[in-house]
């Protein structure tokens, strides 16, 4: 039923349930688990007038380090479960890069975590998970995290 399962991760607290769900689904369907981390270009760059100005010094390197750690942690857990895993780090707007990856890699199922956020935050900034679930060409399984932010 599913040959390619995508698990986007941001390495934050509370993703354990979503990680477990993604690995279990990949194991259950004998699928390859694709794990992606998106270095958010909006954090790295800030718009100022007519030009882009580099974000806080070292922001990109810090996000890349966080991404490497997050990808390695999921890959290690997947390997321990006997699941084939592929990891990718990309730069851009998270929901756009995830949707692009779904289409380019012909992903059959995406598993995403969702944090409980205050209504004002969600109304102002939206949610990567919400955007992906609404626009994806493939099914999206949303796993609620246990951590409130």
* Angle between the N-to-C axes of helices 59-80 and 16-28, in degrees from 0 to 180, rounded to the nearest 10: 40
Is the pLDDT reported for residue 119 higher than 60? no
The model's pLDDT over 22-52, given as tens digits with 9 standing for 90+, comes to: 999 999 999 999 999 999 877 666 433 345 5
Fold for the domain defined by 4-148: Rossmann fold (3.40.50)
Listed residue (94, 65, 46, 131) closest to 142, CA to CA: 131
* Angle between the N-to-C axes of helices 94-104 and 128-135, in degrees from 0 to 180, rounded to the nearest 10: 30
Compute φ and ψ for 126, nearest 5 degrees. Answer: 75, -170
Contact yes or no for 27/17 (Cβ under 8 A) = no
Q: In what order do the strands lie in the sheet with 140-148?
A: 85-92, 32-40, 4-8, 109-116, 140-148
Residue 11 confidence class, pLDDT cut points 50, 70, 90 = confident
Which residues lie below 8 Å from residue 125, measured CB to CB, with a gap of 6+?
none
Domain boundaries, the chain: 4-148
């Amino acid at each position: 039923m599913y040959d390619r399962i995508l698990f986007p991760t941001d390495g934050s607290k509370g993703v354990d349930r979503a990680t477990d769900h993604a690995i279990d689904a990949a194991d259950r369907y004998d699928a390859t688990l694709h794990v992606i981390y998106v270095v958010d270009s909006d954090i790295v760059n800030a718009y100022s007038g007519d030009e882009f100005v580099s974000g806080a010094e070292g922001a990109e390197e810090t996000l890349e380090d966080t991404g490497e750690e997050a990808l390695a942690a999921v890959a290690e857990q997947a390997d321990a479960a006997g699941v084939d895993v592929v990891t990718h780090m990309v730069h851009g707007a998270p929901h756009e890069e995830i949707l692009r990856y779904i289409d380019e890699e012909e992903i059959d199922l995406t598993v995403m975590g969702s944090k409980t956020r205050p209504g004002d935050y969600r109304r102002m900034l939206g949610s990567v998970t919400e955007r992906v679930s609404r626009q994806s060409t493939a099914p999206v399984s949303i796993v609620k995290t246990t951590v409130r932010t």
